[in-house]
């Protein structure tokens, strides 16, 4: 790709010229929904329609699952040597990178994040995830159990079969890739149901997989509403596992669907209310404050691991809070199609109302609004909210208990280490947490005490496909990313072989 020639495309012009194909991808083909029904795909940037998308429902899910099952049973994918699956998945990853600009534009138009981040984060991370699992799959060995001379016990991994992947809208491609990478590399077939709020990149990923030579039926996409396509997939009797990422509310339903159908495995990656704990023995208050603002307001605050509960020691809180409030100015929302934009639009009108409702609740409960709090850019027709900081929050307030999923941070002051740990862990969520301290003993002690799937020490930015991602408590079960994700999409088989004495 000639990057020089495309160094500064006019994204607004490109967006105007874009024509989308919103049909399902089933058995390697683009198909309208069986009912012929569609829904309008609205852009949060300006509220206008990007085009019509197939409104998938039971019949489309049935067709996609049947195609995935046939592809699985006839061995066109599962039966290929791992090195062959690797080669095709690497080609898929290359195609994703080659389509970087198109995919980035679709992602930004569909869910409102700044184009600079769709280009620099979402597309490369998606490709890297697929490539990483591709590279891993021919390096994983089975085991021989230490059972004695009379027998041989082999422990091997087998693909599960048909995986239903149901994903949210905040990182549409990356969330899909976290399921697709390990599920496809392990030899499964997949039916992906993207969010109705952001279906476009998932459909293009399936086209690219077909172009890369991944056999038809191995990766299908059925767009549609949660209560229609999502429910049909999660209740399906021929789906072996659901890889779900979304809200805790919908995660509960996933467990119920499994119980009411075939007891399929359910892996839930759910919400968060992550605590960011800053002690008075951390010298660089400015770095901690800038880090929390960057992490909180990235992706418009629509990140499951956003550090939305900020616990600060009383003695440094005034300095810390002043820096955080000033930082909010660097994250003001602007047109997501401009390369300099740091913060884009919230995903839709519903999310805007939810976020504004929490800002009102914070004020009503007596928290002190330090920055933001307003909807802006109303003339654009899109959904933009200022980065918002509340001081004087108590852990019992609604804005400290519930996931807001928007650019709203609450600052809670504490006096002792025991109090900080108690407050941090007093949440129904346990996705991530962080501790900031220059005292090595305290840093380790608190990192151990925090009940979260990931704990950051003196930073919040590190992230890599090599490390597991997932939550304690009502933030979910199972882990995305790393080799541990293979556990979700493979069955462990024990084979006993008798060895007779001579």
Q: Is 121 helix (H, G, I), strand (E, B) or coil?
A: helix
Closest alpha carbon to 420 in 389, 442, 403, 392? 442
Query: Which candidate in 269, 302, 403, 417 is catalytic?
Result: 269
- Does 397 bind ligand NAD (CB under 6 A)? Our answer is no
Return the bridge partners of 490, or none. 159
Measured from the CB of residue 38, what is the shortest distance to ligand NAD in angstroms?
16
In this structure, what DSSP letter does residue 141 have? -
Measured from the CB of residue 198, what is the shortest distance to ligand NAD in angstroms?
8
Contact call for residues 74 and 187 (beta carbons, < 8 A)? no
By beta-carbon proximity to ligand NAD, the closer residue of 301 and 392 is 301
Query: Mind giving me the DSSP string for 28-92?
Result: TEEE--TT--EEEEE-TTTS-EEEEEE---HHHHHHHHHHHHHHHHTTSSTTS-HHHHHHHHHHH
Do the bridges between strand 388-391 and strand 368-371 make them parallel or antiparallel, or are there none, so unpaired?
Answer: antiparallel
- Does 175 bind ligand NAD (CB under 6 A)? Our answer is yes
Lookup result for tokens 């597309």: 123
Measured from the CB of residue 391, what is the shortest distance to ligand NAD in angstroms?
24
Select the span of 120-128, 222-230, 438-446, 460-468 touching ligand NAD (CB under 6 A).
222-230
Residue 269 is among the residues annotated as catalytic for this protein: yes
Among 128, 253, 273, 479, binds ligand NAD (CB under 6 A): 253
Return the bridge partners of 152, or none. 497
- Does 405 bind ligand NAD (CB under 6 A)? Our answer is yes
Select the span of 78-86, 204-212, 264-272, 418-426 touching ligand NAD (CB under 6 A).
264-272
Among 70, 247, 363, 458, binds ligand NAD (CB under 6 A): 247
- Does 101 bind ligand NAD (CB under 6 A)? Our answer is no
Lookup result for tokens 């085009």: 51
- Does 182 bind ligand NAD (CB under 6 A)? Our answer is no
By beta-carbon proximity to ligand NAD, the closer residue of 167 and 435 is 167
Select the span of 59-67, 182-190, 442-450, 473-481 touching ligand NAD (CB under 6 A).
473-481
Query: Which candidate in 24, 107, 304, 417 is catalytic?
Result: 304
Q: Tell me the C-alpha distance between 83 and 436, whole Å.
A: 44
Enumerate residues 6+ apart whose C-beta is below 8 A from 386: 328, 332, 333, 371, 372, 373, 374, 375, 376, 407
Residue 304 is among the residues annotated as catalytic for this protein: yes
Radius of gyration of the chain measured on its C-alpha atoms = 24
Q: Tell me the C-alpha distance between 212 and 93, whole Å.
A: 9
By beta-carbon proximity to ligand NAD, the closer residue of 85 and 193 is 193
Q: Which H/E stretch holds residue 117?
A: helix 115-117
Using CB under 6 A as the binding rule, the residues of this chain from 294 to 313 that contact ligand NAD are 304
- Does 272 bind ligand NAD (CB under 6 A)? Our answer is yes
Measured from the CB of residue 390, what is the shortest distance to ligand NAD in angstroms?
20
Enumerate residues 6+ apart whose C-beta is below 8 A from 296: 306, 307, 308, 310, 387, 407, 409
Among 126, 188, 189, 245, binds ligand NAD (CB under 6 A): 245
Measured from the CB of residue 324, what is the shortest distance to ligand NAD in angstroms?
22
Q: Tell me the C-alpha distance between 90 and 492, whole Å.
A: 26
Active site residues: 269, 304
Which residues contact ligand NAD (rule: CB under 6 A)? 166-170, 175, 193, 195-196, 226-227, 230-231, 234, 245-247, 250, 253, 269-272, 304, 403, 405, 431, 469, 471, 475-476, 480
């Amino acid at each position: 790709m000639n990057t020089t020639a495309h160094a500064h495309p006019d994204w607004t012009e490109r967006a105007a010229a874009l024509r989308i194909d919103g049909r399902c991808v089933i058995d390697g083909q683009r198909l309208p929904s069986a009912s012929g029904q569609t829904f309008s795909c609205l852009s949060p940037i300006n509220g206008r329609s990007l085009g019509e998308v197939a409104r998938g429902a039971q019949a489309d899910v049935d067709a996609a699952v049947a195609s995935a099952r046939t592809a699985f049973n006839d061995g066109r994918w599962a039966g290929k040597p791992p090195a062959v699956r690797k080669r095709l998945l690497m080609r898929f990853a290359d195609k994703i990178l080659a389509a970087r600009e198109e995919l980035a534009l679709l992602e930004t138009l569909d869910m409102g994040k700044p184009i600079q981040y769709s280009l620099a984060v979402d597309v490369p991370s998606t490709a890297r995830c697929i490539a990483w699992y591709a590279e891993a799959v021919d390096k994983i060995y089975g085991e021989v159990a230490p059972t004695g001379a009379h027998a041989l016990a082999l422990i091997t991994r087998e693909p599960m079969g048909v995986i239903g992947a149901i994903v949210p809208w905040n990182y549409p491609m990356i969330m899909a890739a976290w399921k697709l990478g390990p599920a496809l590399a392990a030899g499964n077939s997949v039916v992906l149901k993207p969010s109705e709020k952001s279906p476009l990149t998932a459909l293009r990923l399936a086209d690219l997989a077909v172009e890369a030579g991944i056999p038809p039926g191995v990766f299908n996409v059925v767009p549609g509403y949660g209560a229609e396509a999502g429910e049909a997939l999660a209740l399906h009797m021929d789906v072996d596992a659901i890889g779900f990422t979304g809200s805790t509310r919908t995660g509960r339903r996933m467990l119920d669907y499994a119980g009411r159908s075939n007891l399929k495995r359910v892996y839930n990656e759910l919400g968060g209310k992550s605590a960011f704990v800053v002690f008075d023995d951390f010298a660089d208050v400015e770095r901690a404050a800038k880090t929390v603002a960057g992490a909180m307001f990235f992706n418009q605050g629509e990140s499951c691991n956003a550090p939305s509960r900020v616990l600060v020691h009383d003695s440094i809180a005034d300095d810390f809070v002043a820096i955080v409030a000033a930082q909010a100015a660097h994250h003001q929302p602007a047109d997501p199609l401009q390369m300099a934009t740091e913060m884009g639009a919230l995903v839709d009108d519903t999310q805007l109302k939810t976020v504004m409702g929490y800002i009102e609740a914070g004020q009503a409960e007596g928290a002190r609004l330090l920055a933001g709090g307003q909807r802006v850019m109303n003339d654009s027709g899109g959904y933009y909210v200022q980065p918002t900081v509340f001081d004087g929050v108590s852990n019992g307030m609604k804005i400290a208990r519930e996931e807001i999923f928007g650019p709203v941070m609450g600052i809670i002051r504490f006096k002792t280490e025991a109090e900080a740990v108690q407050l941090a862990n007093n949440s129904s969520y346990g996705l991530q947490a962080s501790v900031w301290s220059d005292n090595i003993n305290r840093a380790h002690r608190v990192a151990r005490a925090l009940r979260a799937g990931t704990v950051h020490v003196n930073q919040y930015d590190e992230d890599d496909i090599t490390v597991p991602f997932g939550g304690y408590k009502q933030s979910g079960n199972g882990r995305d990313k790393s080799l541990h994700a293979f556990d979700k999409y493979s069955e462990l088989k024990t084979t006993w072989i008798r060895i007779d004495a001579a």
